[in-house]
Amino acid sequence: MSVQSLVMRHGKIERPVCFAAVDATPSEEFLSESEKEQLGSFKFAAKREGFLLGRLAAKSALGALLPEPDPRRIEIRSGIHGQPLVHHPRAGSIEVTVSHSHGLAVALAFSAEYSMGIDLETISAVATEVVIGELEASPPELAWLAMGGVDGATACCVLWTAREALGKALKIGLSSPLGVLALADIRAIGEETWVGRYLNFPQCQCLSQLKGDRVLSLAMPKDAALSGQLQFG
């Protein structure tokens, strides 16, 4: 497990954010009593693993930002679209965004003043032809796919996670047509790193990173920047 304390800069404004990555399934001791009950309701091992990984990542990020050394005092419930709702005496406007894929969970804790969302996907789990059909890709996205600078599975992962991340930032999940969450442009800004602007939400941008066989995308305000790169995997 790793935890990063970073700064989000938006113009002259700076806000602390904390990012956590967890790759080992923990025991349930860090959960609140109600969270233990929720864990017990899951029938399948994969669902239990994802819940434990995601909750530990979220509580680790929140614990560093609040700060709160006892994760049992941080309770996370689900909103109407499944978004995590933070319950803690000092939570105030602090929020958290969480994602997990194939044994790795990540979470970012931040001030609700600047909405953010993250999504993590494993490239090997992506069926390229199926995903392209579901993306409702914009003309700029299709042009980027056709350029051939990125292999199809990775490119699909970038576009899919960009949509998921924005859906989380907007707290709507994927309840809208996927084309609504499409990018207006996308370009490389470093090795295996891309930035894009959203077509219908020009106030937001997406930062995507490839590490190994995983893609992580972060949706955030268009003029915002983090003080460092998110470390995962």
pLDDT digits (tens, 9 = 90+) for 50-103: 999 999 999 999 999 999 999 999 999 988 888 899 999 999 999 999 999 999
Q: Which of 114, 147, 173 is the last residue of a domain?
A: 114
Same domain, 154 and 217: yes
Same domain, 197 and 218: yes
Q: Do the domain assignments include residue 233? A: no
**189 phi and psi, to 5 degrees?**
-125, 10
Q: Which of 85, 114, 143 is the last residue of a domain?
A: 114
Q: Do the domain assignments include residue 229? A: no
Q: Do the domain assignments include residue 169? A: yes
Domain that includes residue 159, residue range: 118-223
Same domain, 142 and 169: yes
Same domain, 62 and 89: yes
Q: Output the pLDDT for position 129.
A: 74
Q: Output the pLDDT for position 227.
A: 96
Cβ neighbours of residue 221 closer than 8 Å, sequence gap 6 or more: 10, 114, 115, 203, 204, 205
Distances (CA, A) of 108 to 19, 67, 94, 95, 152: 4, 14, 10, 8, 28
Q: For residues 214 and 98, what is the distance between their CA atoms, to the nearest angstrom?
A: 15
Same domain, 125 and 100: no
Mean pLDDT throughout 18-30? 96
Distances (CA, A) of 138 to 151, 183, 201: 18, 7, 13
- 52: domain CATH number is 3.90.470.20
DSSP string, 60-88: HHHHHHTT-S-GGG-EEEE-TTS-EEEE-
pLDDT > 70: what percent of the chain?
Answer: 99
Q: Do the domain assignments include residue 8? A: yes
Q: For residues 2 and 188, what is the distance between their CA atoms, to the nearest angstrom?
A: 26
Q: What is the pTM of this model?
A: 0.94
Same domain, 196 and 130: yes
Q: Do the domain assignments include residue 15? A: yes
Q: Do the domain assignments include residue 70? A: yes
Name the residue among 121, 83, 84 with its Cα closest to residue 102.
121
CB 99 within 8 A of CB 106: yes
Same domain, 14 and 52: yes
Same domain, 6 and 110: yes
Residue 139 has pLDDT above 90, yes or no: yes
Q: Do the domain assignments include residue 231? A: no
Q: Output the pLDDT for position 126.
A: 64
Q: Output the pLDDT for position 37.
A: 94
Q: Which of 114, 134, 169 is the last residue of a domain?
A: 114
Domain count for the chain: 2
Q: Do the domain assignments include residue 177? A: yes
CB 148 within 8 A of CB 160: no
Same domain, 155 and 97: no
Sheet holding 193-198, edge to edge: 117-122, 214-221, 204-211, 193-198, 183-190
Cβ neighbours of residue 103 closer than 8 Å, sequence gap 6 or more: 23, 25, 49, 53
Q: Output the pLDDT for position 132.
A: 78
Mean pLDDT throughout 177-182? 94
Name the residue among 150, 153, 101, 149 with its Cα closest to residue 130.
153
